[in-house]
Amino acid sequence: MLTTVIIWLTIGFAFFLLFLSVWLVIRKSFGVLRERQLNAYRKRYLAVIPPLLLIDTPIGPVEESKRAWQTAIAFQLAAAARSFHTGPRLWRGVQHEAAQSVLEELSGTISGETRHRITYLFEQFGFVRRQIAHLSDRRWWVRGEAARRLGIMRSRQAVPALVRLLHDKEKDVRLSASDSLLDIAGVKGALSQVLQNLTTITQWMGVQLSKRIIAAGPAAISPLLAGLESPSVSVRRFAIRMLGELRAPEVIDPLSTHFGSMERETQILALHTLGRCGDEKVLDLLLQNTESQDVGIRIAAVMALGYLGAPSTVPRLKHILLEDRLPVGRAAADALACIKPTGIHALITVADTGTGHARALALEQLDESSLEETAQ
């Protein structure tokens, strides 16, 4: 009996494997065909869509000019939309995908007035409506992908739905929604809302968001300062870090005032930011923290002194290089190398008269500097 069961199970399993293999090959072959068809449709749409975008309109107020363009393309637009339903039924989805990908590609290369025209085409072809519908899909990856694509389409119709998505349970969806909101409404318009609504910002999310924030420059400072008040520690840390990257002097007072009440990791970030902002009124705070019991805080304070570049700190940094532990000494050597020429002179002295790791670190820094000069 058992033998019979095993025999039948094995035969069934063998057939399943055969079926699976054949299915894989068919799927792959169909994939190749689909790819070819997609490319063919893309070529077709690449010939149709760019001329629509480049139609000239009479010079005048922006809104009038927009309306004139919309009227001018109305006929061709309807024809293009109809063409989605003319091909073989099997390839309808591919047709849509091709048109959308052509628009997305153009969207990445065009700015200014033409950018609004692409958004209009996305809306008219129904792509925006479809992606907004996908934002409520129960599968998180569909929501995430829709959020990402809406960012490319830059339609303001999507803003309310994207704001709701900032509370999604999946962090990749929240990230896509944040990115897209910054794309659609700009850093000035959307960053406050993003920072208010997000409950955590991981380093990864920070990396993704920072690109747009740095590009926005001073426009991002005010929303970031508001972010310092967030109840979320990770949001506050992100705001501190970004303000440091932007070298915003406005952050010095709030950080100096609240420094004592911050947690250790936030203090480390704050020291870096204070150093980057380059104002000597934080000198006392930084020097005071070079004497902290915590190695991490000492390293951050020493590095901040390097960013600040004040010659008056050279004796203290030299002392740290000679006396403190290896990682702090290394930070001190790095900091001295940033303060030219007095820091370099101090390094030369340590290289000549110092011993142990202090001398090795000084020699290393001088070597780095000479390499830099040779390279220049």
Q: Please report, as ranges, the residues that interact with another protein according to CB under 8 A.
A: 3, 6-7, 10, 13-14, 17, 20-21, 24-25, 27-29, 31-32, 140-141, 144-145, 147-148, 172-173, 175-176, 179, 202-204, 206-208, 210-211, 214, 241, 245, 326, 357, 360-361, 363-364, 366-367, 371-372, 374-376
Residue 80 CB, nearest approach to another protein (Å): 27
Residue 238 CB, nearest approach to another protein (Å): 9
Q: Do 152 and 109 meet the contact criterion of CB atoms below 8 Å apart?
A: no
Residue 336 CB, nearest approach to another protein (Å): 14
Shorter beta-carbon distance to another protein: residue 35 or 291: 35
Shorter beta-carbon distance to another protein: residue 59 or 207: 207
Residue 364 CB, nearest approach to another protein (Å): 4
Shorter beta-carbon distance to another protein: residue 117 or 236: 236
Q: Which of 133, 140, 153, 242 is nearest to 194 (CA)?
A: 242
Cα torsion 316, 318, 322, 325: sign: positive
- What does the alpha-carbon distance between residue 96 and residue 106 come to, in Å, rounded to a whole number? 16
- What does the alpha-carbon distance between residue 111 and residue 148 come to, in Å, rounded to a whole number? 18
Residue 342 CB, nearest approach to another protein (Å): 21
Shorter beta-carbon distance to another protein: residue 253 or 367: 367
**320-329 long-range Cβ contacts below 8 angstroms, 24+ apart:** 320/290, 321/346, 321/350, 321/354, 321/358, 321/361, 321/362, 322/350, 322/354, 322/358, 324/298, 325/295, 326/357, 327/295, 327/299, 328/295, 328/298, 328/299, 328/302, 329/357, 329/358, 329/361
Shorter beta-carbon distance to another protein: residue 24 or 74: 24
Shorter beta-carbon distance to another protein: residue 129 or 171: 171
Residue 20 CB, nearest approach to another protein (Å): 6
